[in-house]
């Protein structure tokens, strides 16, 4: 059987990697991103919207609740599907306790099962990408870090860590871990300020190199966006605005302004924004 896999994901797609592994165990031939192919079966995994007809489709762009069959979910990823990848990829913990309205995670596979990195890690790689939705909500989070340290791996950080759950032990673990680039945190809602600031203080204490995603255009004003960015900057970390509505020109301009880091020349980010806003 000839199987074709399609996706709009710009990065390696874990679901398709597992589907590929499954079909190869059956002796099938698998191809990736050949829209005009004539396969016997086609799978699609869509982040935004389904672009081509497929026999089977899933992903946030179709229905976040659709899950892989258990026999496919259990497969180790087929890394040959993405020959340029230089890290292993998978979950040690899927669950997130937050249930944020703007997030698709609560509608996805949100099981509370701890898994070992060795369920998906391939020793050909010196890097590992954890797709965990909230690693620090895992009661066995330290076991995951212990396996990473023992294997001498560098973490390719995609989803980040919850500042609201930060404590001395977690900050120390992050400091001990080798990361490929910055650690990722997030400050989405103003109501979380107290816990976020405590986490920022620990990040500053342990001199963590981190970027903090700042959700904008959801339920905050521009004043609150500026305030959060200023607090993050004051604790030695870089804010990174994430527009809820990608088509909003004002939010796109604000994101561009922050990412240019020109505000570092001013006493406050607000002062820099007023100056920048006058030029656009």
**Sequence spans of domains, the chain:** 1-74, 182-280
pLDDT of residue 106: 66
Contact 16, 32 (CB under 8 A): yes
Bridge partners of 215, per DSSP, are: 242
**Mean pLDDT of the 69-85 span:** 96
pLDDT of residue 108: 72
Query: Which CATH code is given to the segment(s) 182-280?
Result: 3.40.50
Query: Confidence class of residue 62 from pLDDT cuts 50, 70 and 90?
Result: confident
CA distance 193 to 231: 10
* Residue 48 in this model has a pLDDT that exceeds 90: no
**Whole-structure pTM value:** 0.90
* Residue 220 in this model has a pLDDT that exceeds 80: yes
Please state, rounded to an integer, the average pLDDT across all residues of the chain: 93
* Alpha-helical segments (H) within 93-217: 141-151, 168-176, 193-205
Which residues does 273 contact at the CB level (< 8 Å), separation at least 6?
A: 226, 254, 257, 263
C-alpha to C-alpha distances, 172 to 145, 163, 183, nearest whole angstrom: 11, 13, 13
* Residue 109 in this model has a pLDDT that exceeds 70: no
* Residue 36 in this model has a pLDDT that exceeds 80: no
CA distance 163 to 186: 7
**Burial of 249 (C-beta count, 10 Å sphere; 0-12/13-18/19+):** exposed
* Residue 267 in this model has a pLDDT that exceeds 80: yes
């Amino acid at each position: 059987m000839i199987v074709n896999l399609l996706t709009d994901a710009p990065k390696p797609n874990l679901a398709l990697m597992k589907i590929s592994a499954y079909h190869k165990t059956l002796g099938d031939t698998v191809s990736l991103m050949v829209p005009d192919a004539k396969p016997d079966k086609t799978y699609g995994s869509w982040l935004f919207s389904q672009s081509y007809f497929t026999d089977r489709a899933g992903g946030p762009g179709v229905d976040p609740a659709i899950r892989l069959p258990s026999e496919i979910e259990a497969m180790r990823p087929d890394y040959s599907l993405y020959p340029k990848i230089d890290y292993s990829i998978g979950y040690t913990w899927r669950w997130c306790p937050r249930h944020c309205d703007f997030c698709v995670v609560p509608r996805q596979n949100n099981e509370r099962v701890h898994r070992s990195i060795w369920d998906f890690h391939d020793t050909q790689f010196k890097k590992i990408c954890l797709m965990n939705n909230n690693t620090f909500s895992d009661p066995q989070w330290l076991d995951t870090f212990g396996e990473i340290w023992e294997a001498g791996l560098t973490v390719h950080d995609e989803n980040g860590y919850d500042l609201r759950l930060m404590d001395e032990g977690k900050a120390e673990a992050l400091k001990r871990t080798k990361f490929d680039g910055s650690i990722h945190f997030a400050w989405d809602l103003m109501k979380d300020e107290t816990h976020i600031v405590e986490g920022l203080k620990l990040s500053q204490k342990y001199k963590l190199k981190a970027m903090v995603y700042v959700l904008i255009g959801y339920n905050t004003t521009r004043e609150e966006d500026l305030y959060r960015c200023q607090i993050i900057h004051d604790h030695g970390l870089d804010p990174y605005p994430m527009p809820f509505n990608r088509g909003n020109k004002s939010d796109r301009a604000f994101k561009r302004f922050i990412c240019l880091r020109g505000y570092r020349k001013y006493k406050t980010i607000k002062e820099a924004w007023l100056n920048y806003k006058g030029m656009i």
